[in-house]
Structure 1
Amino acid sequence: MANHALVGTSGARAPRLGRPVGAGVPAVGGVVLLLPDGAPASGRGPSALARAACLPLARRLAREGRAEGLVAHVVRYRGRGWNGADALFAADAAWAASEVVRRYGDVPVCLVGHGMGGRAALRAAGHTAVNSVLALAPWLPEQDVAASPEPVKQLAGRHVMIVHGTNDARTDPESSYRLADRAKKVNRDTCRFEVHSDGHALREHRGEVLALAADFVLGALFSRPYARPVADALAAPPPLGLRMPLASGFGHALRR
């Protein structure tokens, strides 16, 4: 897809790939696109604060995947609102995946999103370049509307992980469980972790969440062996593999 402005209700500015994190690798072997959170509806420009919140994970992934040539980009949306049927973030995520192909060629892409970015990652998973999706505390308001369930067919053939804090007051953890349960029926490579006592930002267990994210992304993109809890979650039938607790200390002494 050409790098041009996408027209939408949030203005005429174009989505962009942010500056690469992990630049300087000898050859790009895989790309992570980080999709920030946002607002349900807004005509304002993209949020610098939401983008900044993605940078620690981007840096962690780029550092740990450097040997395989991993590059991370935080996607700059056209605006800061999902904006109903426009699904602005999902459209911009799909554009970003096409831009990766244009820029880097045929390399695997992992979409990593938080909140509304998590919903965008799940929605855009059908792009042919995408091999995996990590949705952190995804915003899924339509899960309670039987007439318009969130689609899951696009997740077939992808590696999918959802991570949600049990005390999330902004996005209902049960909505992501219901989506994961439906996704598991079309894609066996789906799992979900629950971060007990944590909220929407997943700050209380930040170290464990970053370690879990890195383990999943590097395993999905480069076929590294998953840590035992991740492998178990992917292999377990519902509900066990969809309510896997994230253990305190995960990442401090991983045994594969």
Structure 2
Amino acid sequence: MPSPRLIPVRTPASPEGVVVVLHGGASRGEQVGVSPAQLSVLRMVPVARRIARAGRSRLAVHRLLNSHRGWDTTTTPVTDARWAIEQVRDRHGDLPVALVGHSLGGRAALLAGDDPHVRCVVALNPWVLPSDRVDLRGRRVLVVHGTDDRIASPARSADFVRRLPSGTEVEQVSIEGGKHAMLRHGRAFEEWAADFVVSTLLG
């Protein structure tokens, strides 16, 4: 099976926090590998760059390429996200971590957000299920969803937010007219993610 990979976007010498950016992408068959050129991966490049610019030289930013596309019963993007958290800790030390994901990557960010080193989670148009449960108490969570998303249900993400335990600091934002691919209003999605991560990790 292919292995997950981390792609550095910005790696300052002495960062104060670390950001891992997670892509989406539906399954294309069992254990189909991830291409760096697939649209779901490229979609997160401007998000990662915006966060890197906003964090200046104070945040290390990495993009994760999952081990394979989609979500199956044996290995999921949550497994890859947890692997990435350990990798960035090996590289950068004991720093607060932010997870930022889109679509299935948003789901992975939320479900991996219970890692004790994660300080905040940003989920952009997350594709979640009614059965998803996670305890994110003590973390800051931002869910941004376009009102015109026809692939990942805004109602499901709103329901996910309502199910989070009390004690979770959560903010929910609707992007009027925003669609799943974030092509329209892309700047709004990017700015919400960057501002939230910077304010959380850098105060």
Paired residues for 1:13-162 under 5 Å: 13-18=2-7, 20-23=8-11, 25-40=12-27, 42=29, 43-48=31-36, 49=38, 50-67=40-57, 69-83=58-72, 85-140=73-128, 142-143=129-130, 149-153=131-135, 155-162=136-143
**2:152 aligns with one of 171, 176, 182:** 171
Kept in 2: contact 1:165–1:195 (CA 8 A):
yes
Aligned residue number for residue 226 of structure 1: none
The CA deviation at 1:190 is: 0.5
Deviation at 1:171, TM superposition (A): 0.7
- Determine the C-alpha separation between the residues in 2 that align with 1:125 and 1:34: 13
Q: Is the 8 A contact 2:54 2:195 kept in 1?
A: no
More strand by share: 2
Higher helix content, 1 or 2: 1
Paired residue secondary structure (1:186) = coil
| Equivalence map 1:6-17=2 (5 Å) | 11=1, 13-17=2-6
Equivalent pair of 1:34/1:58 in contact (CA under 8 Å): yes
CA distance in 2, matches of 1:97, 1:207: 27
The gaps in structure 2 that reach 5 residues or longer are none
Deviation by residue 1:176-209 (Cα, 9 ceiling, x = unmatched)? 00000111x4334101101111110122211222
In 2, Cα distance between equivalents of 1:174 and 1:138: 11
TM-score norm. by structure 1 comes to 0.74
Aligned length: 200
Structure 1: state its 5+ residue gaps: 1-10, 144-148, 224-256
Q: Distance in 2 between matches of 1:114 and 1:208?
A: 14
Partner Cα separation in structure 2 for residue 53 and residue 197 of structure 1: 18
- C-alpha change, 1:122 and 1:87, in structure 2 (3 Å) is farther
**Displacement after TM superposition at 1:87 (Å):** 5.0
Q: Quick one: which amino acid aligns to residue 177 of structure 1? A: A
SS at match of 1:73: strand
Q: Which residue of 1 aligns with 2:188?
A: 208
Query: 2:122 aligns to what SS in structure 1?
Result: strand
Q: Per the alignment, in what secondary structure is the counterpart of residue 21 of structure 1?
A: strand
For the aligned residue pairs, the C-alpha RMSD in angstroms reads: 1.4
For 1:41 and 1:127, the matched residues in 2 are separated by: 29
Shift of 1:41: 5.9
**Counterparts of 1:150 and 1:202, CA distance in 2:** 23
Q: TM-score, normalised by structure 2?
A: 0.93
Q: Relative contact order: is structure 1 or structure 2 higher (C-alpha 8 Å, sep ≥ 6)? A: 2
1:175 offset after TM fit, Å? Answer: 0.2
Report the Cα distance in structure 2 between the residues aligned to 1:87 and 1:165, rounded to whole angstroms.
28
Kept in 2, the 8 Å contact 1:17–1:76? The answer is yes
Kindly name which structure, 1 or 2, has the bigger radius of gyration based on alpha carbons: 1
Structure 2: distance between partners of 1:208 and 1:79: 29
| Separation of aligned partners in 1, 2:166 and 2:3 | 34
Identity of aligned residues (%): 38
